[in-house]
Amino acid sequence: MTDPLVDKLDLDAKARLTAGRTGWSTEDATAVGLAPVILCDGPLGLVSPTMDERDRSLLLPCGAAVAATWDPAVARALGQVLGAEAVGRGVHGVYSPNLNLPRTGLSGRSFEMYSEDPELTGVLGVAFALGLQSQGVASVVKHLVANDTETARQTMSATLDEVTLREVYLRPFELAVRAGVWGLMTAYNAVNGVPNAEHAQILAIVREEWGFDGLVVSDYYALKRTIEPFLAGTDLEMPGPAIWYGPKIADAVRAGQVPEERLDAAVDRLLRLGARTGALAGGPVVLTEPAPAPTPTLHDAAVASFVLLANDGVLPLAPGRSLAVIGPNAARPTYQGATFGRIHPFDGVATPLDAVRARFGTVVHAPGTAQPEAGPLTGPGVTTPDGRPGLLVEHWRRGEDTPALADVRQSSLFTWFGAVPGVGPTPEIDRVRLSATVTPDLSGVHRLTIGGSGALTLTVDGAHLLDRPAPAPQDLMGAVARSETSGVDVALTAGVPVSVVVDMACTEGRVIALTAGILPPQPGDALADAVAAATTADDVVLVVGDTITATRESRDRETSALPDDQVALIRAVAAVNPRTVVVVNAGRPVDLSWADDVAAVLCAWLPGQGFGTALAAVLAGDREPGGRLPVSIPFADADRPTFGQHLDENSALDYTASEPSGYRGLEHAGTAPRFGLGAGLGYTRFRREDHAVHPTGDGGAVAGVRVTNVGTRPGKEVLQAYVRGPGETWSRLAGFTAVELQPGETRLVRVALPADAFRRWGPGWHVPAGTHTVRLGTSSTAIDVDVTIER
């Protein structure tokens, strides 16, 4: 039954509500008290609606780091922190979390996803979403469904049999919907040839089987038609203003192509979202509990996400010893991956180098590798032409001779969706110009780079040095997301200023993007300096990993390996100092073929703004690394069932052919991973005994394990239960529980296995008759015991 308010709106007023007003808001309906619903991107933080670097936000751990905690309480707290910040800024909904699965290990967006396991993804994603909604802010989970490859993501189609679709890729979304999320975003890609936004079968599962009563939103510019997606169940076109919905929906109703009842249902769902989030008059915000303090929460979450995979006793570091901090990510860490949803954190975020110095005192530092790519054209030595810190960015409207806006900015990476604040809609912008005076610190060859959504020219001191054509219109969004650039080498002299101007002719599109960068001369002896520092130090902390562009939206990776110069650095440093701790700062499973050569390996992911302080605390032993792997790490990329798969001539990718994937696929093939799902160490030891499994009356089961901390420090153990059904050749995660114990403490730990853990699809849900094996242990490969139960 629809809200009576729907009846107070005429056809055109209702149709108007089916499309956004801007890139971040819906239309309003003052006649019924509905204000614009403000929807912002996530999930690493609250993205500026105008993507302005002057809008600062808290920077959360990436999805992989959240999943690495294996702790719903941590995920919920992070959601609460995000929700509280959203409330303070008048935001009603956040596109978060991302419940897709990083099935290949090479997806460009792996960092934003949670786990290769659907259950772990769903449980942690639900906790995050409900934490967000506890503040009265909608969680709009994304991207429904099978949106885990970035290659041709807007045109590719995932080929999926119904068993795989139901049991694996829909599972996290099912958990989220049944838990009560208020919004869903459909994906760009198709499933079995049908675009997700038009997939009536999948959206019927969501609505009719799972009982979803929330709003279904299109991914940005994903719609290509009007009737098909609207009839399938996609309620809201984003961003605005309308292209396919809005007035076209009213026309379709008048033409008899869309029943007015379908329009009423879409409007009803938007009103419900407004009521839940305070955008509808008389609809109080549903605030169920206060949010925790942000700074300690982000610090604790980073600690809880760090996964210690190897340790020969070097960690925690002993006091009073000399320490070298080496590696490109020590002073220039990567806090987030590259998406449209980039966060600009508040000032004062400590780098790992800063924090380790503060905790340990004097340390020797050497980056060990050259800077791999151009950085922003900002910072010391860069001013506007009239001497102000920053860059001058000017915008011209079409047909006008003088700039409509001249703005001083502290960034050189810009994206405007739909409109440029203070200027107008993006189709009305004719030209954008970036001007700066650059005074280099070093003499030598500097590389200047430019990129954007239009045709570009670069001049230095008035000399025309570089042209770059506009990207192909059909790949504009991908090119913008990838921040593709062209570059030119320029000889500059230290202390001598030069004028740098980037001009861009804009297309009449909905997106304008412009970027400029600079790479200064690089030292040729970085590796030798690092080896010298490692030789003289007692202990080494070597921080390696990704740059922000190494894993990014709209581009997949070809390998899980670190760059060659980083691998060479690891091996060279470990050869001269056996007490080398390698910290991997990457939001994806990284090839660890060098792991046996070093004393310790700590996966730090992209842990948000708490990275530095959390790392120092863990290295010193003030805190224990609390994480476990949310993904498996094979010995080689070729071991993965998905390895070598590519789109066919019809842009289809056969998921079914590579299932089971991840740790399940490795078990099915009899291939041992280097580290299994759930692997991880702490700073103490545990004894596990008296394993048992008992069925419960609701069709599930409960496993019990007696755990004793037999070490000398407090610590955390994560008990995991995997289920293998009759005749199956692989196991799947069914439940997990973390326990923290003091030295000598013993506790009976129970792991709940829901009834869903034993069900299978085909056709319909059922529990196969026969022997089900419950495997209990501390990772997918560290199994203590198998217990059988009959169904």
CB 126 within 8 A of CB 671: no
| CA–CA separation, 131 and 79 (whole Å) | 4
CB 779 within 8 A of CB 678: yes
Residues 504-530 as b/e (b if ≥16 CB within 10 A, e otherwise) read bebbebbbbbbbbbbbbbeeeebbebb
> Which tokens hold the place of 782?
């560290």
∠ CA 676-681-686 to the nearest 5 degrees?
Answer: 110
| CA–CA separation, 82 and 87 (whole Å) | 9
Task: Name the active-site residue from 3, 41, 71, 219.
Answer: 219
| CA–CA separation, 619 and 742 (whole Å) | 20
| CA–CA separation, 543 and 594 (whole Å) | 14
User: What residues are paired with 724 via a beta bridge?
Assistant: 773
What phi and psi, each to the nearest 5 degrees, are found at residue 32?
Answer: -120, 10
| CA–CA separation, 208 and 286 (whole Å) | 25
* Neighbouring residues of 723: CB distance < 8 A, sequence distance ≥ 6: 731, 732, 734, 753, 757, 758, 772, 773, 774, 775
Among 79, 94, 82, 136, residue whose Cα is nearest residue 280: 136
Among 664, 607, 566, residue whose Cα is nearest residue 367: 566
> Which tokens hold the place of 371?
């800077």
Give the C-alpha distances (Å, rounded to integers) separating 419 from 27, 337, 429.
Answer: 16, 25, 9
Is 597 one of the catalytic residues? no
Read out DSSP for 367-392? --S---S-EES-STTEE-TTS-BSEE
> Which tokens hold the place of 101?
């699965």
Residue 750: is it exposed, middle or buried by C-beta count within 10 angstroms (0-12/13-18/19+)? middle
Give the C-alpha distances (Å, rounded to integers) separating 35 from 32, 338, 555, 786.
Answer: 9, 32, 37, 56
Among 109, 103, 269, 105, residue whose Cα is nearest residue 171: 103
Residue 257 DSSP one-character state: S
| CA–CA separation, 110 and 557 (whole Å) | 10
* Other beta carbons within 10 Å of 549: 17
* Neighbouring residues of 520: CB distance < 8 A, sequence distance ≥ 6: 371, 440, 441, 442, 444, 446
* Neighbouring residues of 466: CB distance < 8 A, sequence distance ≥ 6: 448, 450, 456, 457, 458, 486, 487, 488
Query: Beta strands of 626-696 (E only): which ranges?
Result: 652-654, 686-695
Give me the helices (H) in 316-405, please.
328-331, 352-360
| CA–CA separation, 247 and 228 (whole Å) | 16
CB 472 within 8 A of CB 419: no
Go through the chain and tell me how many residues it has. Answer: 791
Among 667, 757, 760, 677, residue whose Cα is nearest residue 720: 677
Q: Assign 494 to helix, strand or coil.
A: coil
CB 587 within 8 A of CB 551: yes
Q: Which residues are catalytic?
A: 219
